[in-house]
Amino acid sequence: MNRFLALVLAGGVVLPFQLPAADWLPPLPAWSGASESLIKAKNAPWVTPAELTGLTDSPDYNATLVYLRKLVDSSELLELEQFGVSAQGRPLYLVKASKALHKIAQNPARPLLLVQAGIHSGEIDGKDAGLMLLRDIAQGEKTHLLANADLLFIPVLSADGHERRSLYNRMNQRGPLQQGWRATAQNLNLNRDYAKADAPEMQALLGVINRFQPDLYIDVHVTDGEDYQYDITYGFNEPFAAVSPNGASWLAKLYRPAVNAALEQAGHIPGPLVFGVDSKDFSKGISGWTASPRYSNGYGDVRHLPTVLVENHSLKPYRQRVLGTYVLLEQSLKLLNEQGKALILARQADLQARPRSMALSYAASEQPDYIDFKGISYQLKPSAISGDNYVAWTGQPKLYEKLPVYWDKVAQNEIVIPKAYWLPPEQHTVIQRLKLHGIEVTVLDKAQKVILQQLSVTAHTFAAKPFESRFMLQDASFSRSNISRTLGAGWVKVDTDQQLGRLVVALLEPTAPDSFFSWGFFPGMFERTEYFEPYAIEPLIERMLAQQPELQQQFEQALAKDEALRNNPRERYNWFYRQMPFYDNQYLKYPVLIQP
């Protein structure tokens, strides 16, 4: 089948022209693997909609749900449940798979796997792989995968994006033929929304996590970027930079070797989740990422839910990617049957730990590790359009021996974890978001005197343009002062001595990269609503100088240091205004108080 692209000429004239499907992408190495035996014939019972196309296309939302309902109705092992509603009103569903559906997530000794597809709906490999796996569990010979483990499967998280289907959504990706859109109907990228939880889809997902308390979470994506031999890449926050070191160790020591072996045996090439340091010189190395809580794997780490971010390689055919995803998901269930109790113990150790300090972010190490990387050769070609060189991948395998990897493992902004954070009752939105995350809060029923820290913003910059529908705070710095404060009834205490205590810190410590402060949840603290008139402040300044002669010298010193102050009459008044009791004492004060 041909695709039709549009060429926009000068003057706004749009002319169609024809290109064979994806022939603009780099050459494709031939592939075949044992996993191809997973595909059912078109006349087989329970063949999935994607298999009917030879795994070249993916069904729309309605066809997906029609197939799922029939499959669920045919088996006592499956149950379909609506868990939320999209921004445009589409129901969101999950499939429960268990030999005891009524007890799912109620047995703490029985591991539970949560698999999520379609958070970016153009990257829909996980949906079709999951349908095939559920079919083989319910109607095939893989019921044993539920012997000692249970499964939750979300086929499409971004349902509205899924239905914004087109032949032209992802020019960097080989299939499926019709692809959904990356963002939701509200133009929110759900894999940037975990911490702030603005989208109704994300709020519903957090409800699933809080209700079922899964032990392992797999989020299936497709990459963009460089070409290489690996078809299934995945990653998680590594033990050397993890908030949940025990869960990360289980993933590194047990999960990764088992999944890699299964993929290799099935004919796939698994690889690490990495990104090139220099897009035009791959030999400079790759960067190893430590995710912050806006992403699934970073959020899972900070709330002690071992999370694997799968990034299938966009330049590999849809058929190959779906089959590799099937193998990864099947092996994940196998491993939970065999080693699930060890994972549960690791996760419980992280939940029960109470460290004294916490790094809020990580930077790349200047000293690299080295790996042998299975890459693809390329040429730098001049572009008459851009006037620059661009990378043209050749499709030919190339081994980069001892390629440097710069891991994000240098702790930054490490803080002593406070005992608690206190929020005034008027911060309704933030308080409700904390509850959405499953964080325990306590509301004062009578006044209480507490020794606290008050943070004041000393410098800040708002982003010049919105990101994920918010104007983020950048380069903020603070001063801290100790205060004794009597908090009235209605104030909310958020204790860090709880299982999600490190998530509390990530959300309420303002210098954390994905804190509510960083996402711009407190715009009111940056506004002044009471002002002065010159006729009123002039006589007050005269009285101040008469009563405090030292202010004159301080003012002159400030004038000597600050050109803007010297040249701005209003700012001269402001200098004195800030010394007066009339000045707004809440301006630039972080409204969340900290109990050290």
Three-state secondary-structure class, residue 362: strand
Q: What is the pLDDT of residues 363-380, one digit of tens each?
A: 999 999 999 999 999 999
What stretches of 29-149 show up as alpha helix (H) in DSSP?
49-52, 61-73, 125-139
Q: What is the pLDDT of residues 282-301, one digit of tens each?
A: 999 999 999 999 999 999 99
Please enumerate in sequence order all residues whose Cβ is within 8 A of that of 505, keeping only pairs 6 or more positions apart, or say none. Answer: 358, 360, 415, 417, 418, 496, 512
Dihedral angle over CA of 281, 221, 119, 474, nearest 10: -30
pLDDT-based confidence at residue 13 (cuts at 50, 70, 90): very low
Q: What pLDDT is attached to residue 225?
A: 81
Residue 152 exposure: Cα atoms within 13 Å on the Cβ side: 26
Q: What pLDDT is attached to residue 120?
A: 98
pLDDT-based confidence at residue 224 (cuts at 50, 70, 90): confident
pLDDT-based confidence at residue 335 (cuts at 50, 70, 90): very high
Provide the residue type at 357 as one letter.
Answer: S
Nearest of 524, 525, 542 to residue 580 by alpha carbon: 542
pLDDT above 60 for 528: yes
pLDDT above 70 for 14: no
pLDDT-based confidence at residue 21 (cuts at 50, 70, 90): low
Q: Can you spell out the DSSP letters for 520-589? A: T--GGGG-------HHHHHHHHHHHHHH-THHHHHHHHHHHH-HHHHH-HHHHHHHHHTTSTTS-TTTTB
Phi, psi of 341 (to 5 degrees): -65, -35
pLDDT above 50 for 125: yes
pLDDT-based confidence at residue 323 (cuts at 50, 70, 90): very high
Q: What pLDDT is attached to residue 2?
A: 41
The terminus-to-terminus CA distance of the chain in angstroms comes to 64
Q: What pLDDT is attached to residue 583?
A: 87
For CA atoms 424, 427, 432, 435, the dihedral sign is negative
Lowest mean pLDDT among 3-7, 158-162, 441-445, 525-529: 3-7
How far is Cα 289 from Cα 363, in angstroms, rounded to an integer? Answer: 9
Both structure tokens of 292: 């912050």
Residues making up the chain, counted from first to last: 596
- Other CB atoms within a 10 A radius of the CB of residue 26 amount to 16
- Other CB atoms within a 10 A radius of the CB of residue 76 amount to 10
- pLDDT exceeding 90 applies to what percent of the chain? 91
Lowest mean pLDDT among 193-197, 206-210, 415-419, 581-585: 581-585
Q: What is the pLDDT of residues 466-523, one digit of tens each?
A: 999 999 999 999 999 999 999 999 999 999 999 999 999 999 999 999 999 999 999 9
Where is 432: in which H helix or E strand?
helix 428-436
State the average pLDDT over residues 567-595: 93
Three-state secondary-structure class, residue 222: strand
Q: What is the pLDDT of residues 245-258, one digit of tens each?
A: 999 999 999 999 99
How is the beta sheet containing 420-423 ordered, strand by strand? 442-443, 492-495, 420-423, 593-595, 448-462, 473-487
Lowest mean pLDDT among 295-299, 332-336, 538-542: 538-542
For CA atoms 181, 182, 186, 191, the dihedral sign is positive
CA angle, 270 then 276 then 279, to 5°:
130
State the average pLDDT over residues 37-55: 97
pLDDT above 70 for 110: yes
Is residue 486 exposed (0-12), middle (13-18) or buried (19+ Cβ within 10 Å)?
exposed
How far is Cα 95 from Cα 313, in angstroms, rounded to an integer? Answer: 26
Mean pLDDT of the chain: 94
Structural contact between residues 306 and 250, judged by C-beta atoms closer than 8 angstroms = yes
Q: What is the pLDDT of residues 134-150, one digit of tens each?
A: 999 999 999 999 999 99
Task: Extract the runs of DSSP E, i.e. beta strands, from 417-498.
Answer: 420-423, 442-443, 448-462, 473-487, 492-495
Q: What pLDDT is attached to residue 250?
A: 98
Fill in the DSSP letter of residue 255: I
Parallel, antiparallel, or unpaired for β 286-288 and 389-416? parallel
Q: What pLDDT is attached to residue 12?
A: 45
Q: What is the pLDDT of residues 419-449, one digit of tens each?
A: 999 999 999 999 999 999 999 999 999 999 9
Please enumerate in sequence order all residues whose Cβ is within 8 A of that of 357, keeping only pairs 6 or more positions apart, or say none. Answer: 414, 415, 416, 417
Task: Extract the runs of DSSP E, i.e. beta strands, from 313-419.
Answer: 357-364, 369-382, 389-416
pLDDT-based confidence at residue 18 (cuts at 50, 70, 90): low
Please enumerate in sequence order all residues whose Cβ is within 8 A of that of 219, keeping only pairs 6 or more positions apart, or say none. Answer: 116, 119, 191, 296, 297, 307, 308, 309, 310
Q: What is the pLDDT of residues 383-402, one digit of tens each?
A: 999 999 999 999 999 999 99
Q: What pLDDT is attached to residue 126?
A: 98
How far is Cα 158 from Cα 228, in angstroms, rounded to an integer? Answer: 28
- pLDDT exceeding 70 applies to what percent of the chain? 96
Lowest mean pLDDT among 2-6, 142-146, 251-255, 319-323: 2-6
